[in-house]
C-alpha cells in the first residue's frame, strides 16, 4: 500500500475539512474523488479504488464533505457541497498543475461535482467521472437529477453497474444518448450501486474495482 498524505482544505472562512492525497511516482492524471452520501473518504471502496488508480499512475484527492467531517448523517446543502468540491479541485490543481485534472465521485459526490461544474466551470477540470451516478432514488425511476448535465461543458464518463438500483439502465442510457459525444458509459455486469457483484457472476468485488480503475485510466488522455 502506498503512503497517503493527510491534508486540510479550507472550504470557507469557518469551514475546514480533511482530505487524503495519494500520488504515484509518475502521475499521468489527477482525480478529485468525492464520497457518497452515507460513507466518507475512508470507506473501503474509496480506499481500494484510489489504490487501484495509483497503480494506474493516477493521483487522487479524497476529501470529506463538511457534514461528514462533523459526524452528521444529514448531507450538506448543494451550495455547501459545491464549495467543498471547488476547494478540493483547487487544491489538487495546485499540487499537480501540469497534470490533466478530472473530478467526480461516488454517487452523491459525483452529482455534487457535476452540479458545481454546471453552475460555473471549475478551472483546469478536463472531464468528470461518475462512479455510480444516482439518477433517481431507489424504486422511484426518473431523470430529473440529470437535468443539469446538459450544462456541463466537459466530457463525462459514467461508470455504472447493471444492477444499480439508483440508475435504471434504460433511463440512464437515454440520458447519456441525449448528452451526445461528451458522455460515455462503462458498464460493470451484475454490479449494484455499491459495485458489489454476486458470486454467481464469476467475479469478485476486487476485480470490479480493478476494472473500474482501468476504464478510468484508459479514458483519461
Read off the pLDDT of residues 150-196 as tens digits, 9 standing for 90 and up: 999 999 999 999 999 999 999 999 999 999 999 999 999 999 999 99
Locate 211 and state its grid cell. 476494472
Name the band, by pLDDT with cuts 50, 70 and 90, for residue 19: very high
**Predicted confidence (pLDDT) at residue 24 exceeds the cutoff of 80:** yes
Looking at residue 221, what is its pLDDT? 84
Q: Which fold, 5-219? A: Rossmann fold (3.40.50)
Distance CA 84, CA 87 (A): 5
Q: Beta-strand (E) ranges in the chain? A: 5-10, 16-22, 29-34, 58-63, 100-106, 125-131, 156-161, 183-188
Looking at residue 135, what is its pLDDT? 98
Locate 187 and state its grid cell. 458498464
Residue (of 157, 39, 20) closest to 88 by Cα position: 20
Query: In percent, how much of the chain has pLDDT > 90?
Result: 98
Distance CA 113, CA 103 (A): 7
- Rounded to the nearest 10°, the torsion over CA 71, 132, 192, 141 is 100
Distance CA 209, CA 187 (A): 12
**Predicted confidence (pLDDT) at residue 2 exceeds the cutoff of 90:** no
Mean local confidence (pLDDT), 113-120? 98
Domain ranges for the chain, please list them. Answer: 5-219
In contact, 215 and 186? CB cutoff 8 Å = yes
Name the band, by pLDDT with cuts 50, 70 and 90, for residue 137: very high
Residue (of 182, 178, 177) closest to 157 by Cα position: 182
Mean pLDDT rounded to a whole number for the chain: 97
Q: Is the pTM of this model over 0.95?
A: yes
Amino acid at each position: 500500500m502506498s503512503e497517503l498524505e493527510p491534508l486540510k482544505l479550507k472550504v470557507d472562512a469557518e469551514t475546514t475539512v480533511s482530505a487524503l492525497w495519494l500520488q504515484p511516482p509518475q502521475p499521468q492524471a489527477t482525480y478529485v474523488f468525492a464520497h457518497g452520501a452515507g460513507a466518507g473518504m475512508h470507506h473501503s471502496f474509496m480506499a481500494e479504488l484510489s489504490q487501484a488508480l495509483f497503480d494506474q499512475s493516477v493521483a487522487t484527492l479524497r476529501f470529506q464533505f463538511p457534514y461528514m467531517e462533523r459526524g452528521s448523517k444529514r448531507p450538506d446543502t448543494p451550495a455547501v457541497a459545491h464549495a467543498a468540491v471547488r476547494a478540493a479541485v483547487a487544491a489538487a490543481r495546485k499540487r499537480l498543475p501540469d497534470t490533466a485534472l478530472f473530478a467526480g465521485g461516488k454517487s452523491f459526490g459525483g452529482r455534487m461535482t457535476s452540479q458545481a461544474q454546471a453552475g460555473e466551470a471549475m478551472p483546469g477540470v478536463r472531464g468528470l467521472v461518475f462512479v455510480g451516478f444516482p439518477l433517481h432514488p431507489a424504486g422511484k425511476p426518473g431523470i430529473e437529477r440529470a437535468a443539469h448535465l446538459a450544462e456541463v461543458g466537459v466530457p463525462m464518463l459514467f461508470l455504472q453497474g447493471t444492477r444499480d438500483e439508483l440508475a435504471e439502465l434504460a433511463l440512464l442510457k437515454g440520458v447519456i444518448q441525449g448528452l451526445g459525444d461528451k458522455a460515455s458509459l462503462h458498464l460493470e455486469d451484475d454490479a449494484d450501486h455499491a459495485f458489489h457483484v454476486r458470486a454467481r457472476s464469476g467475479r469478485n468485488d476486487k476485480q470490479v474495482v480493478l476494472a473500474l480503475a482501468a476504464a478510468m485510466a484508459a479514458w483519461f488522455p
